[in-house]
A and B are shown apart, each in its own frame.
Chain A
Amino acid sequence: MFPSRTWRENPQRYRLEAVKCAKHNKVFFPPRRVSPGSLDGSSLKPYQLPNEGTIYTFTTIEVPPSQFKDSAPYVVGMIELTDGTKITCQVADCDPSTLKIGQKVKIEFRRVQTHGEHGVLSYGYKAVPAIQGVTTV
Chain B
Amino acid sequence: MVGIVGYGAKIPRHRIKVEEIAKTWGADAPSYKKGLQLTEKSVPAPDVDTVTLSVEAARYALKRAGISGTEIGAVYVGSESHPYAVKPSGTIVAEAIGAVKDCHCADYEFACKAGSEAMFTCLGLAKSGYVKYSLAIGGDTSQGAPGDALEYSAAAGSAAFIMGAENVVAEVLYTHSYMSDTPDFWRREHEHYPQHGGRFTGEPAYFEHITGATKAILQKSGMKPQDFQFAVFHQPNGKFPMRVGKMLGFTKEQIVTGWLVPVLGNTYSGASPLGLTAILDIAKPGDMIMMCSYGSGAGSDSFVWKVTDRIKEVQNLCPKTRPQLDEHKIYVDYGTYAKFRKKILKNK
Contact = CB atoms under 8 A, between A and B. Distances in A.
A134 B331 contact: yes
B247 interface: no
B127 interface: no
Given A92-B45, A137-B336, A111 B331 contact: no
A93 B257 CA distance: 28
5 contacts: A109-B51, A109-B52, A109-B55, A109-B59, A111-B46
A110 B95 contact: no
B191 interface: no
A54 B258 CA distance: 34
A108 interface: yes
B46 A71 contact: yes
Contacts of A14: 92, 95-96
B82 to A, nearest CB: 11
A10 B45 contact: no
Interface string A77-95: 0000000000000001100
Among B47, B49, B55, B329, find the residue whose CB has the most chain A CB atoms closer than 10 A: B47
A70 B45 CA distance: 12
Contacts of B328: 131-133
A123 B50 CA distance: 12
A132 to B, nearest CB: 5
B75 to A, nearest CB: 14
A93 B13 contact: yes
B332 A108 contact: no
Contact of A121 (B84, B97, B330, B331): B84
Interface string B6-22: 00000001100000000
B83 interface: yes
A126 interface: yes
B329 A134 contact: yes
Interface of B: 13-14, 45-49, 51-52, 55-56, 59, 83-84, 92, 95-98, 327-333, 336, 339
A135 B330 contact: yes
Nearest to A95: B330
Contacts of B330: 93, 134-137
Contacts of A104: none
A28 to B, nearest CB: 20
What is the size category of the interface that chain A forms with chain B?
20 to 34
A111 B52 contact: yes
B98 A110 contact: no
Contacts of A137: 330-333, 336
Closest 6 A/B residue pairs (Cβ): A109-B55, A110-B47, A111-B47, A14-B96, A136-B331, A134-B329
Interface string A94-137: 00000000000000111110000000010100101001111111
A110 B329 contact: no
A14 B91 CA distance: 12
Nearest to A17: B98
B13 A108 contact: no
Nearest to A136: B331
B13 to A, nearest CB: 5
B51 A123 contact: yes
B40 to A, nearest CB: 11
